[in-house]
Structure 1
Amino acid sequence: MRRLVLILGDQLHDSSPALAGIDPSRDRVLMIEAPGEARAVWSHRARIALFLAAMRHHAASLAGRGIPVDYVALDDPRHAAGPDGLVERLEAAIARWRPAELHWVEPGEWRLERAVMALCERLGLRSVRFADPHFLCSRERFAEWAARQKTLRMEFFYRRMRIAHRVLVDEAGNPEGGRWNFDADNRSGFPAGGPGETPRPPRFAPDPTTLEVLALVERRFPDHPGSLEDFGWPVTRAQARAALDHFVATRLASFGRWQDAMWTDMPFGWHSLLSSSLNLKLLDPREAIDAAVRAWREGAAPLASVEGFVRQVLGWREFVRGVYWLDMPGLAEANHHRHDRPLPGWFWTGDTGMACLRACIGQTLRRGYAHHIQRLMVIGNFALLAGLAPRAVSDWFLAVYVDAVEWVELPNVAGMALHANGGRFTSKPYAAGGAYIDRMSDYCAGCRYRPRERSGSRACPFTVLYWCFLDANRPELAANPRTALMAASAARMDDAERARIRELGESMLARIEAL
């Protein structure tokens, strides 16, 4: 064999450079389902099912194009006695086919990239690794940009990307609408009556291939968290494109204004739900950006909403991917605040008296999905305030969301939500008390705790632990212009108040399982 072409589970784009020049008579594609990948973190069953279903559909698509595929299924009889790991199954395939070269695209995980490179070196096999053209900024270009910056800030990177790719800029390179950033227009909470009727996103009924996968996952991973009851995620290129079209037609116009708002029993709102399709490479970010910008130019969506969406795709998504590769492997072990508390058991059940966490975690376990504010300002915020161990929290996020790939999940969780890298690419810790959650949701109305109380039996854990966090980190917060007012507020507490709040916070953490 001339080439063995490795296609990983999150590399399902038709135009993979590893496929260039493939000769069906001398080359073969290799795709591997590995039980060990589902167990590396205790993965949500919907996450496992999404990857496997999308992989199997992609393999069928390749075969339909006349490309020979060696598909190593989860229960492949060739591995009845093991091994379970992806790299071990790759080694067995290399022994089976004896290729002259392994062609592959850079993966989304530092660990896997190093392991495949080490395997090829040990076997003396020539490895041809391609940059991933799915992204609009290569790892090398990001590193070059970062080397010229005093601090890494997404806003400056985002503006550069807008100009470089001619997105929402005029002929002179100035931002459309006269502003780079419409965040101020995109942070509204719902009125007292709630969001009203929200448009339903499309649900893609499982076909026979997907149904087979769902049954397999139920059988092989019965003890894993989550439910497959509502599974309807896009698993093909055509479905991903349909999901994009539906979002642009029905939800993009209101997406910006309400993107930070939360409401009980409103799992999706106006969010795009495209991240899983983007991260599996079923959908190209360029077509998502182009579709949104076209909607604005045609008067179908306001500029603020479109800019908010573009910021997520062209800005933050590309930025955190660059940071991940720049800072690994240190990012995975970062622990600026030296937090070491284990995850409460209710992270896996949602069984907590805090209504906001009960809603967000419950939704996550049912659907494998929560939007970015639920992840950052409810679940991540609590993890920061409670001093949960960053690695454990990052592994949980990687396990429970269908769109989770390490390059995007780890920087968002360890770097942004937990401030574990000390603000390497964020300007402040994203810490907030119960008042923020009360303002942005209806969760507090049905909670046994009171968001504005920081004493007594009904004191909100978010509020109490927020003030404990401010007090414990006062010098650092005071030195940061963006958090100096927070530190000043904490400094105004007298010694008795400070001691009382600290005592209540310690009591809450001592009985965290019962909160």
Structure 2
Amino acid sequence: MAELRRLVLALGDQLDLEAAAFDGFDAAQDAVWMAEVTEESTHVWSSKPRTVLFLAAMRHFALALRALGRPLHYTPLDDPANHGSLHAQLQADLARLRPTGLVLTAPGDWRVLQAIKGVAQVHGLPLDIREDRHFYCSVREFAAHAQGRKSLRMEYFYREQRKRHGVLMQGDQPEGGRWNFDRDNRGAFGAAGPHAVPPRALFAPDPLTREVIALVEERFATHPGQLDDFAWPVTRDQALVALRRFITERLPLFGRYQDALWPGEPWLYHAHLSAALNLKLLKPREAVDAAVAAYRAGAAPLAGVEGFVRQILGWREYVRGIYWTRMPGYAELNALDAQEDLPAWYWTGATDMACLRDTLAQTLAHGYAHHIQRLMVTGLFALLCGVQPRQVHAWYLAVYVDAVEWVELPNTLGMSQYADGGLMASKPYVATGKYIQRMSPYCRGCRYDPAQRTGDTACPFTTLYWDFLMRHAALLAANPRMALQVKNLARLDDAQRQAIGERAAAIRRGAVA
């Protein structure tokens, strides 16, 4: 067998034929390595939709590699010789293939990077880790931005990105005279609800994806989630179709209703592109450029386009920078000393709280919920309840199809759970059930009343909100953005405080769900 010069490692979230790891690839001397391993679905209890998406996308990417004539060593999940974990599989294959070096585009997961480094070291092989060109901002550039800052607010980073890349700019000024149109993007639906929402872009499983679905149903039968309606894009061509559909059908109303909630309507006007972006089937520049072009053509309003651009050019790049400049210690942060267990019904949706029941049901069915459902429904309850942040992180990483650790961990620990003590968020995002009532009709059909904080019909969100303020009053009083909320505690007498504390304890015990 001819000597193998370089083995290019392609991970499950690096499905880009133009990735830096392929620079200089020579089919006569080099080969690509990919492996499906059980560990990636079991280190957290990965949902069936999430596992199917990754495996189906990987198998379709393997077809694309072979079509280009790139030699490929691919180990499927059901291969009898599969060693079950990334490091074990790579170690066994290196002993067999004996390359002179390894090439890797920088991964999105600290755990995976350490495993690959360890295997390369054991085998005494040079490991060439190349910059991930998928992103607008390198980790090194983000570190320079973060240097000397006590807090890392996304807004300032986002403005730098807009200027640097010339996105929605008029000279050195932002398009429309404002950097942020957030206040224009907080609309709720009227009493009649959303009207004529365009159908979601559906991609019926082909024979290859159906094979994966059958395999996952067999191998991970006890894992959460359902696969009856699996229709996510698993190829680059499908991802491009999904982008075009969003730009023409949803972007015009995306901004206005991006914070709105409605029962039984999981898709609304959101993009549903994050999974394709995070698997690298879609490039962020393609998405941003398409949205800006729609605005320039008069097909979408500036407020909505700016909101979409902010999510990709701003927030997505920002959380990656936080992750890679703060790991591994970031994963252990717990500024509020939250120690409760995640309620078991997060995995089943079996709760009387209408907003959580609906959000969890769609999450388990589709592996999807939009950002307000994640932040102000599932995340808010966990924060108010005092759930241990690592457990919240493990749940989000497990259930959502777009969950890759670099993007999910900072969103969960920093933005949602305030576990980093304010590095990312200027205050904990806490609210009573009144917020959900304002943004949705969930409360109309719920057994709980968001206006009540104690008693059998009191909304658990409202009870836990006041309990949260009481438990963290000293810390929150020092935060200017929380001072008014903390002052409201003065209205409560001792009997009211005791009643709130007792009902909050019952909620944590599972006596109220």
Match of 1:84 in 2: 84
Q: How far, CA to CA, are the matches of 1:154 and 1:465 in structure 2?
A: 28
Letter in 2 for 1:345: A
TM-score normalised by L of structure 2 = 0.98
Match of 1:509 in 2: 508
Percent of residue pairs identical:
55
Aligned with residue 33 of structure 2, among 11, 30, 46 = 30
Q: 5+ unaligned residues in a row in structure 1: which ranges? A: none
Q: Which runs of structure 2 are paired with 1:254-293 in the superposition (5 Å)?
A: 254-293=253-292
The answer to whether the 8 Å contact 2:7/2:101 transfers is: yes
Match of 1:215 in 2: 214
Match of 2:115 in 1: 115
Match of 2:347 in 1: 348
Q: Which runs of structure 2 are paired with 1:109-258 in the superposition (5 Å)?
A: 109-171=109-171, 173-258=172-257
Q: What is the CA deviation profile of residues 78-129 of structure 1, one whole-angstrom value per residue up to 9, with x for unaligned ones? A: 23xxx21011101111111100000011111111111111221121111101
Q: For residue 30 of structure 1, give the secondary structure of its aligned residue in structure 2.
A: strand
Please say which of residues 474-483 and 303-312 is displaced more in the overlay. 474-483
In the TM superposition, what is the alpha-carbon distance from 1:453 to its structure 2 partner? 0.7
Please say which of residues 151-160 and 339-348 is displaced more in the overlay. 339-348
Q: Which runs of structure 2 are paired with 1:323-402 in the superposition (5 Å)?
A: 323-402=322-401
Q: For residue 145 of structure 2, give the secondary structure of its aligned residue in structure 1.
A: helix
Match of 1:57 in 2: 60
The answer to whether the 8 Å contact 1:471/1:491 transfers is: no
Q: What is the CA deviation profile of residues 327-374 of structure 1, one whole-angstrom value per residue up to 9, with x for unaligned ones? A: 111121111111111111111110001111101111100110000000
Match of 1:493 in 2: 492
Aligned with residue 46 of structure 1, among 37, 45, 49 = 49
Q: Which runs of structure 2 are paired with 1:404-415 in the superposition (5 Å)?
A: 404-415=403-414
Letter in 2 for 1:31: M
In the TM superposition, what is the alpha-carbon distance from 1:510 to its structure 2 partner? 2.2
Q: How far, CA to CA, are the matches of 1:488 and 1:133 in structure 2?
A: 48
Q: What is the CA deviation profile of residues 465-503 of structure 1, one whole-angstrom value per residue up to 9, with x for unaligned ones? A: 000101111122121111111111123322222222122
Match of 1:430 in 2: 429
Q: For residue 251 of structure 1, give the secondary structure of its aligned residue in structure 2.
A: helix
The answer to whether the 8 Å contact 2:151/2:422 transfers is: no
Q: For residue 489 of structure 2, give the secondary structure of its aligned residue in structure 1.
A: helix
The answer to whether the 8 Å contact 1:101/1:125 transfers is: yes
Q: How far, CA to CA, are the matches of 2:162 and 2:432 in structure 1?
A: 34
Match of 2:70 in 1: 67
Match of 1:310 in 2: 309
Q: For residue 300 of structure 1, give the secondary structure of its aligned residue in structure 2.
A: coil
Q: What is the CA deviation profile of residues 218-247 of structure 1, one whole-angstrom value per residue up to 9, with x for unaligned ones? A: 111111110011100000000000000000
Alignment root-mean-square deviation, CA: 1.0
Q: How far, CA to CA, are the matches of 1:367 and 1:31 in structure 2?
A: 26
The answer to whether the 8 Å contact 1:259/1:270 transfers is: yes
In the TM superposition, what is the alpha-carbon distance from 1:9 to its structure 2 partner? 0.3
In the TM superposition, what is the alpha-carbon distance from 1:197 to its structure 2 partner? 2.2
Letter in 2 for 1:62: L
Q: What is the CA deviation profile of residues 125-173 of structure 1, one whole-angstrom value per residue up to 9, with x for unaligned ones? A: 11101011001100111011101423200000000000000000112x2
Match of 2:97 in 1: 97
Q: For residue 366 of structure 1, give the secondary structure of its aligned residue in structure 2.
A: helix
Match of 1:5 in 2: 8
Q: How far, CA to CA, are the matches of 2:209 and 2:501 in structure 1?
A: 51
**1:14 equivalent in alignment to 2:14:** no
Please say which of residues 283-292 and 182-191 is displaced more in the overlay. 182-191
Q: How far, CA to CA, are the matches of 1:149 and 1:22 in structure 2?
A: 40
Q: How far, CA to CA, are the matches of 1:178 and 1:506 in structure 2?
A: 49
Q: How far, CA to CA, are the matches of 1:481 and 1:469 in structure 2?
A: 17
Q: For residue 77 of structure 1, give the secondary structure of its aligned residue in structure 2.
A: coil
Q: For residue 127 of structure 2, give the secondary structure of its aligned residue in structure 1.
A: strand
The answer to whether the 8 Å contact 2:90/2:119 transfers is: no
List structure 1 runs of 4+ shifted beyond 3 angstroms: none
Q: How far, CA to CA, are the matches of 1:75 and 1:30 in structure 2?
A: 17
In the TM superposition, what is the alpha-carbon distance from 1:184 to its structure 2 partner? 0.3
The answer to whether the 8 Å contact 2:109/2:406 transfers is: yes
Q: How far, CA to CA, are the matches of 2:510 and 2:28 in structure 1?
A: 64
Q: How far, CA to CA, are the matches of 1:36 and 1:248 in structure 2?
A: 37
Q: 5+ unaligned residues in a row in structure 2: which ranges? A: none
Q: For residue 137 of structure 1, give the secondary structure of its aligned residue in structure 2.
A: coil
Q: How far, CA to CA, are the matches of 2:218 and 2:197 in structure 1?
A: 35
TM-score normalised by L of structure 1 = 0.98
In the TM superposition, what is the alpha-carbon distance from 1:436 to its structure 2 partner? 0.2
Letter in 1 for 2:21: A
Letter in 2 for 1:58: F
Please say which of residues 273-282 and 383-392 is displaced more in the overlay. 383-392
Letter in 2 for 1:30: W
Please say which of residues 485-494 and 154-163 is displaced more in the overlay. 485-494
In the TM superposition, what is the alpha-carbon distance from 1:505 to its structure 2 partner? 1.5
Q: For residue 507 of structure 2, give the secondary structure of its aligned residue in structure 1.
A: helix
In the TM superposition, what is the alpha-carbon distance from 1:74 to its structure 2 partner? 0.4
In the TM superposition, what is the alpha-carbon distance from 1:326 to its structure 2 partner? 1.2
Match of 2:478 in 1: 479
In the TM superposition, what is the alpha-carbon distance from 1:384 to its structure 2 partner? 0.6
Q: For residue 427 of structure 2, give the secondary structure of its aligned residue in structure 1.
A: coil
Q: For residue 426 of structure 2, give the secondary structure of its aligned residue in structure 1.
A: coil
Letter in 2 for 1:369: Y
